[in-house]
């Protein structure tokens, strides 16, 4: 019989669901606490999502942005990891239901992150490509290279254009960085790898619903990134929403039609709440309402942190904090302190409310081009790009990953090449099979 096999330590058990930025920071901060920390994740690694777009555009290898969770905590004695899917919670009994059996908890922390949000549009969901997991990033990379390989086999220009038109939806950092990376593929890789295909057959669109891209940053940064993208040949459409998409024809809110076989969806994320948490406290975007201590409403010993948690305690963020790594990291740290306080005082008095320290934000558009805002400064261009690289490199977990990512970037900077443009596939002849279903 399968069972979690987690020994009773005599200490209260903190079960953390999810090994993302929030979960691992919380677990780390509980290192010397008199608790047993149990982390569950469906994967056995922490994924550095901010660089996922570089995997999907053949700039980095998959394994260089993933770090084994067991490796992070190998010196932490009160830490136990199990690879498991959580299926539900029974709050009255303090029991978590998982694919490997039931687990008793004293404190439960939901740090499950978010998934791609198609805002209920099932047809778009079926045909668009999301980008939240490592396997999705690899699939995008495979798919993109296949579009080029298959274009060589066609003579009809319209069919080729449909294959070589790439549409990103969502003008946040992910959409902007993705569009920039595609523009660099066109500029540096396409002429070398596919000299038979005229470069102007490839088109890149970035579609944003609001009046400007990177609308979480200043107007100045928006403007500069818009200019950089347009200079790289990206068509940016603001105030525009995708109405319909059938895998080939895209209808925009302005009535315009685009033909493309590749719609990359970076227009939003949503939480995935756990069965057993009352739907009354779950918002339409899947986030769970928590108080200023990250406590899930109505439950003293259940918490939610990061993307899955909706906390409204700052007038600057009336709809809750942004779904970014920094919020998750800081909420994890704050919650660790509060769990320690609860252990000492055996009550929920004197807990420290969460206060968000906005460290700034940034986005890279391409070689030597980025925008960054932090500590009251607004940077753009080469210096912002250097800052972007250093911050991301330092934030990556593990010396090996830093070394491999740095090696790739270093190589790319001087050669204008992208090393990992390979298609890893299961079947043998599936390039032909795929084409037959697509046509």
Rule CB under 8 A: which residues touch a copy of itself?
1-5, 42-45, 61-64, 66-68, 70-71, 74, 82-85, 99-101, 134-135, 138, 145, 149-150, 152-155, 192-194, 196, 398-401, 403-404, 407-408, 410-411, 415, 417, 419-426, 428-429, 431-432, 435
Nearest-approach distance from CB 40 to a copy of itself, in angstroms: 11
User: Looking at beta carbons only, is 3 or 92 nearer to a copy of itself?
Assistant: 3
User: Looking at beta carbons only, is 21 or 354 nearer to a copy of itself?
Assistant: 21
Residue 30: strand pairing partners:
none
Regarding beta strands 234-237 and 203-207, do their DSSP bridges make them parallel or antiparallel, or are they unpaired?
parallel
Dist. CA 138–CA 55, nearest whole Å: 7
Name the residue among 335, 438, 396 with its Cα closest to residue 55.
Answer: 396
User: Looking at beta carbons only, is 73 or 245 nearer to a copy of itself?
Assistant: 73
User: CA-based angle 24:402:38, to the nearest 5?
Assistant: 15
User: Looking at beta carbons only, is 5 or 280 nearer to a copy of itself?
Assistant: 5
Nearest-approach distance from CB 18 to a copy of itself, in angstroms: 13
Structure tokens belonging to residue 413:
């900077």
Q: Is 235 exposed, middle or buried (0-12, 13-18, 19+ CB in 10 A)?
A: middle
User: Looking at beta carbons only, is 377 or 422 nearer to a copy of itself?
Assistant: 422
283: left (phi over 0), alpha (psi -120 to 50) or beta: beta
User: Looking at beta carbons only, is 100 or 283 nearer to a copy of itself?
Assistant: 100
Nearest-approach distance from CB 88 to a copy of itself, in angstroms: 13
User: Looking at beta carbons only, is 257 or 400 nearer to a copy of itself?
Assistant: 400
- Give the three-class secondary structure for 221: helix
DSSP collapsed to 3 states, 35-90: CEEEEEECCCEEECHHHHHHHHCCCCCHHHHEEEHHHHCCCCCCEEEEECCEEEEE
Cite the beta strand spans of 249-360 per DSSP E. 249-252, 257-259, 262-265, 269-271, 288-290, 302-304, 309-311
Nearest-approach distance from CB 422 to a copy of itself, in angstroms: 4
User: Looking at beta carbons only, is 212 or 421 nearer to a copy of itself?
Assistant: 421
Nearest-approach distance from CB 423 to a copy of itself, in angstroms: 5
CB 219 within 8 A of CB 212: yes
Nearest-approach distance from CB 343 to a copy of itself, in angstroms: 25
- CB under 8 Å to 76, separation ≥6 — which residues? 27, 28, 31, 37
Structure tokens belonging to residue 165:
């038109």
Nearest-approach distance from CB 407 to a copy of itself, in angstroms: 4
Nearest-approach distance from CB 139 to a copy of itself, in angstroms: 9
User: Looking at beta carbons only, is 95 or 145 nearer to a copy of itself?
Assistant: 145
User: Looking at beta carbons only, is 251 or 431 nearer to a copy of itself?
Assistant: 431
CB 418 within 8 A of CB 61: no
Nearest-approach distance from CB 259 to a copy of itself, in angstroms: 19
Nearest-approach distance from CB 417 to a copy of itself, in angstroms: 7
Distances from the Cα of 395 to the Cα of 339, 390, 392, 413, angstroms: 26, 8, 5, 20
User: Looking at beta carbons only, is 383 or 411 nearer to a copy of itself?
Assistant: 411
Nearest-approach distance from CB 7 to a copy of itself, in angstroms: 9
Map tokens 């096999």 to a residue.
Answer: 5
Dist. CA 202–CA 205, nearest whole Å: 10
From the CB of residue 275, how many other CB atoms can be counted at a distance below 10 Å?
Answer: 11
Nearest-approach distance from CB 100 to a copy of itself, in angstroms: 5
Helix axes 382-395, 399-415, angle to 10 degrees: 150
- Give the three-class secondary structure for 190: helix
Regarding beta strands 309-311 and 288-290, do their DSSP bridges make them parallel or antiparallel, or are they unpaired?
parallel
User: Looking at beta carbons only, is 119 or 410 nearer to a copy of itself?
Assistant: 410
């Amino acid at each position: 019989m399968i069972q979690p096999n987690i020994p009773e330590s005599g200490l209260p058990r903190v079960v953390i669901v999810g090994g993302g930025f929030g979960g691992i920071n919380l677990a780390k901060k509980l290192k010397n606490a008199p608790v047993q920390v149990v982390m569950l994740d469906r994967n056995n690694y922490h994924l550095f999502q901010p660089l996922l777009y570089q995997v999907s555009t053949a700039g980095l290898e998959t394994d260089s942005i993933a770090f084994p969770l067991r490796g992070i905590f190998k010196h932490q004695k009160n830490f136990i990891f199990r690879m498991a899917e959580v299926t539900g919670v029974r709050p009255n009994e303090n029991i978590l239901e998982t694919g490997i059996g039931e687990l008793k908890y004293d404190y439960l922390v939901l740090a499950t992150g978010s998934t791609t949000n198609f805002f209920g549009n099932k047809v778009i969901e079926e045909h668009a490509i999301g980008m939240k997991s490592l396997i999705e990033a690899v699939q995008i990379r495979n798919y993109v290279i296949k579009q080029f390989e298959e274009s060589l086999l066609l003579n009809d220009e319209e069919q080729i254009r449909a294959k070589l038109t790439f549409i990103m939806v969502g003008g946040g950092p992910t959409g902007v960085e993705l569009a920039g990376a595609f523009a660099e593929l066109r500029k540096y890789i396409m002429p070398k790898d596919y000299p038979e295909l005229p470069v102007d057959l490839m088109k890149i669109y970035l579609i944003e619903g609001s009046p400007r891209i990177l609308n979480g940053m200043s107007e100045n940064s928006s403007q500069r990134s818009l200019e950089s993208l347009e200079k790289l040949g990206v068509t940016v459409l603001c105030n525009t929403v995708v109405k319909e998409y059938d895998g080939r024809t895209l209808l925009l809110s302005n009535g315009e039609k685009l033909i493309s076989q590749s719609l990359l969806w970076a227009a939003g994320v949503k939480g995935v709440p756990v069965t057993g948490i009352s739907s009354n406290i779950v918002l339409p975007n899947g986030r769970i309402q928590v108080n200023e201590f990250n406590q899930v409403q109505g439950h003293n010993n259940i918490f939610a942190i990061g993307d899955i948690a909706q906390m409204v305690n700052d007038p600057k963020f009336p709809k809750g904090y942004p779904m970014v790594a920094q919020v998750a990291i800081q909420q994890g740290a704050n919650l660790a302190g509060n769990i320690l306080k609860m252990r000492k005082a055996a009550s929920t008095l004197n807990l420290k409310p969460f206060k968000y320290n906005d460290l700034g934000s940034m986005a890279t558009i391409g070689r030597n081009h980025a925008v960054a805002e932090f500590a009251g400064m607004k940077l753009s261009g080469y210096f912002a790009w250097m800052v972007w690289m250093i911050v991301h490199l330092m934030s990556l977990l593990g010396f090996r990953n830093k070394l491999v990512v740095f090696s790739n970037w270093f190589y790319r900077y001087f050669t204008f090449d992208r090393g990992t443009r390979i298609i890893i596939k299961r079947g043998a002849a599936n390039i032909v099979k795929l084409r037959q279903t697509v046509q």
